[in-house]
Amino acid sequence: MKKEDLKLSIHAMLHPVYVFERVKFQGEGSILLSIIILFLWFFSNAFSMQSTGFIFNNIRQEDINTLIIFASTFVLFFLWTVSNWALSTFMEGEGKYRDIIIASAYSILPYIILSIITTIISNFLFIESLTFLQYINILAYAWSIIMLHAGIHAVHQYSLKKTVLNIILSVFGIAAILFLFVLVFSLFQQLYIFFYTIFSEIMFRI
């Protein structure tokens, strides 16, 4: 990872289409930085759950589960990229898997930064500023979604309509993958039980 990559990711927050075109056509951007951003996302989620000021924290501290935070960051990201990549091959997308990873990971950056900021300032605010924090939160989501949209748009060279369609279908794709996963899991369980019964039956006869 070079210093330019870091600069590029910051630059992407303000000029997403320009930067993601460069990622696609000039091979800029770094997978390593994307993974670091993912780690940051994981930690910022945990941080905001734990350290949001008492007044604004609606999460029961005993219920915080690292595995669930992991699933809602790393696993979700993985599913998203796989689903998007698989769909883009159907929908004449031009993006490589690397491009999708970089575009998606860089898009999370504004959300991470704003969520860390809100977590810190929530410790110094009174309950009247709840709406203010909610606005920042909405801004964070909106910024990230716009960036993601620009990223998919640039990486796959889609039209606006097709980008929106692609994103919505990718979300359904995640559900389909999860469904298949559960299906396969239960099938293997059945298979295991089947062989185990045969085994115990044989042992019983011998």
Partner 1 sequence: MRRILSISILAALVTILPGSYAYAETTYLGYTYNTWDEAVPSPAGYVPERFYSGADIGAGNLKEPQDIFVDRENEIMYVVDSGNNRILLLDRDYKAFRTVEIFTSPKGQETLNNPRGIYVDNTGTMYIADQGNSRILVSEKNGSIKKIIETPRSDLIPENFQFKPDKLVVDKAGRIYVQCTGVFQGLICFDENGSFNRFYGSNRVDVTVSLLRDMLWRKLLTKEQKDKMIRFIPIEYSNVYIDNEDFIYAVVRKSENSNREIKKLNALGINVLRIGKNSVYASSDYGDRPVIYDRGFMVDTAFVDVNVDDDNFINALDSTRGRIFQYDQESNMLFVFGGIGEQLGTFESPAAIESMNKKIIVLDSKKNGFTVFRASDFGKLVKKAVNLYNEGRYREALEPWEEVLERNCNYELAYIGIGQAYMNMEKYIPAMKNFKLGYDKYGYSRAYKEYAVDIVREYFGTIAILLILIVVISKIYKNRRAIVNKYRIKRELRKR
Instruction: Enumerate binding residues for partner 1 (CB under 8 A).
Output: 54-55, 60, 126-128
Q: Minimum distance between the CB of residue 11 and partner 1, rounded to whole angstroms?
A: 33
- Residue number, 48 or 83, with CB nearest to partner 1: 48
Q: Minimum distance between the CB of residue 54 and partner 1, rounded to whole angstroms?
A: 6
Q: Minimum distance between the CB of residue 21 and partner 1, rounded to whole angstroms?
A: 45
- Residue number, 48 or 52, with CB nearest to partner 1: 52
- Residue number, 54 or 204, with CB nearest to partner 1: 54
- Residue number, 60 or 161, with CB nearest to partner 1: 60
Q: Minimum distance between the CB of residue 141 and partner 1, rounded to whole angstroms?
A: 24
Q: What is the DSSP string of the chain?
A: --HHHHHHHHHHHH-HHHHHHHHHHH--S-HHHHHHHHHHHHHHHHHHHHHS-TTT--S-GGG--HHHHHIIIIIHHHHHHHHHHHHHHHTT----HHHHHHHHHHHHHHHHHHHHHHHHHTTS--GGGHHHHHHHHHHHHHHHHHHHHHHHHHHHT--HHHHHHHHHHHHHHHHHHHHHHHHHHHHHHHHHHHHHHHHHHHHHH-
